[in-house]
Amino acid sequence: MADNTQGDQSWRTQPFRQNVRGKIEEAIRQAANPTFRSATEMENHVFQKARSKDEYLSFVARLIIHVREMIGVVGRRRR
């Protein structure tokens, strides 16, 4: 089966990337951890590393999971 996202360049557009930054910002807000870099910096880092839409979305998903995991770590430390 062919990779349908191979030719899809929509992930490189500013509106798409801005939407992703919003999701990262929300995860950071929930973590309430000021030590995180800004959502723009983090998104730009994964954007630079990604070679395809699938890879970009995979990096973003892992980033958001990592930020959310930090919520649990911070919560356990405060108890």
pLDDT digit string, tens, across residues 57-73: 999 999 999 988 877 76
Taking the C-alpha atoms of residue 39 and residue 64, their distance in angstroms, rounded to an integer, is 10
* Domain count for the chain: 1
Q: pTM score > 0.85 for this model?
A: no
Residue 35: per-residue pLDDT: 64
The CA-atom distances, in angstroms, between 44 and each of 23, 32, 39, 75, 79 are 14, 21, 8, 28, 34
- In this structure, are residues 43 and 17 in contact, taking their beta carbons and an 8 Å threshold? yes
Mean pLDDT value of segment 14-21: 97
For residue 46, give its domain range. 11-78
* Within a domain: 31: yes
* Within a domain: 4: no
Residue 32: per-residue pLDDT: 73
* Within a domain: 66: yes
Task: Give Rg (Cα) of the chain.
Answer: 14
**Of 33, 19, 18, 17, the residue nearest 66 (C-alpha):** 33
* Within a domain: 5: no
Confidence grade of residue 1 (pLDDT, cut at 50, 70, 90): very low
